[in-house]
Amino acid sequence: MSTLTGARIGVVTFPGSLDDRDAARAIRIAGAEAVELWHGDADLQHVDAVVLPGGFSYGDYLRCGAIARFAPAMQTIIDKAKQGLPVFGICNGFQILVESHLLPGALIRNDHQHFICRDQRLRIENTTSMWTNQFEPNQEIVIPLKNGEGGYIADEHTLDMLEADNRVFARYLDVNPNGSYRDIAGITNERGNVAGLMPHPEHAVEPLFGPSLDGLTFFTSILASLAAGVRA
């Protein structure tokens, strides 16, 4: 697939967002225009896709992502995602997606009860989604991980459904850093336009900054999807 020049990808900033600038930089490096979106504004400015960045939205009060889920921007994103808008939630963004019920399950305190920051090996198991189509099947990558509430949990029925439908697109290798059930690091919705990932690909997109360039492929994947006219 060729990538799409002129694509506009929005990055939502919430109070407490930490990695919104990093996500915007990754989008620009991939070849798209990064559009700043504010949590309090329901207007998405006609973007082609949305990234919900990492950080500590609203100070992680109540539960991580629980307050951000009700932001005016999120109300529009929820509606548009159900219509096929591509949405990528990274770390806190993943937490917001599960709180919004755009993705199933929940993210809870790491099983060892400590914040963790490390370079993490992953295996990319689904290369058909809008956010992973430029990876090779079962490609192993290394990108940074940093979280305190990164443990993915769901009931057995939901876990079996995710596995059967090939919706687990990223899985931890070598070590499970947070107690996530079945080593799950990232999942998609049924249509494949919404994806949540706990590690941080935006910190692995350029030389000398991060352990690899592996994270860039998530951003070139969505550009390839948009260029090909892929619709969820």
| Active site positions, annotated | 91, 200, 202
- State the DSSP code for 102: S
For 176, the 3-state DSSP assignment is: coil
Give the E-state strand segments of the chain in sequence order: 8-13, 33-38, 49-52, 87-90, 106-108, 116-124, 139-147, 151-153, 168-172, 184-188, 194-197
Rounded to 5°, angle at Cα 27 from 83 and 47: 35
**Six-digit token string for 229:** 């006219």
